[in-house]
A and B are shown apart, each in its own frame.
Chain A
Amino acid sequence: RKEVEQDPGPFNVPEGATVAFNCTYSNSASQSFFWYRQDCRKEPKLLMSVYSSGNEDGRFTAQLNRASQYISLLIRDSKLSDSATYLCAEAYGGATNKLIFGTGTLLAVQP
């Protein structure tokens, strides 16, 4: 089993829709989780950090469920510009803090 798993998609949604992605992780001791956005052939860019009770930034909400070992990302009122790959990552290895990424979920927002 992979350490971090995501549904690769693609998720095809109309503009204005609400879409949610889940990401499961296997290391129950992991403390920090992140959502990165990656555009085609570009580097990952940090979208949100997900700590303990989760957080919200505008149309984006991230949640952490430790009991079931998953994190989620909710995007409300989808825009065409939200089309990208969304990568979840856990910070692993204690002091090492290396990131373990999922394969990414491809989102395509359509007019």
Chain B
Amino acid sequence: DTGVSQNPRHKITKRGQNVTFRCDPISEHNRLYWYRQTLGQGPEFLTYFQNEAQLEKSRLLSDRFSAERPKGSFSTLEIQRTEQGDSAMYLCASFPATGRGDNEQFFGPGTRLTVL
């Protein structure tokens, strides 16, 4: 257990519905990343936060996707009007950004989304 938690662990939804995932990072980590992983592929970067500021978004993050980290602690990722192509594992990663040179990211267990 890395200390990063994600909820729910599994989500099945019908096409067109909205879904929201939550990530709770390691408490002292000020950076939080979202990735998406589809079958047979490595995780792909979606977006990241430094404290409450969202500093970068991938082109993969269409207008239907929005992420927030309102108080610089937990983060939410919302997908509106889900499509079958959104089916994937959504991973959250936490990173201390201490500047010490150790920059390993620690992943949560992921939320597996299935869009029917």
Give the B-binding residues of A (Cβ under 8 A): 4, 8, 32, 34, 41-46, 49, 87, 89, 91, 93, 96-104
Contacts and interface: CB of A to CB of B under 8 A. Distances in A.
Given A32-B103, A101-B44, A43 B110 contact: yes
Given A96-B48, A97-B31, A97-B97, A46 B42 contact: no
B41 A103 contact: yes
B25 interface: no
Contact of B107 (A4, A41, A45): A45
Contacts, number: 58
Interface of B: 2, 31, 33, 35, 40-45, 48, 55-56, 89, 91, 93, 95, 97, 102-110, 112
Nearest to B4: A43
18 contacts: A4-B42, A8-B40, A34-B104, A42-B110, A43-B107, A43-B109, A45-B2, A45-B107, A96-B48, A96-B55, A97-B31, A97-B97, A97-B103, A97-B105, A98-B56, A99-B43, A101-B44, A104-B42
A101 B102 CA distance: 18
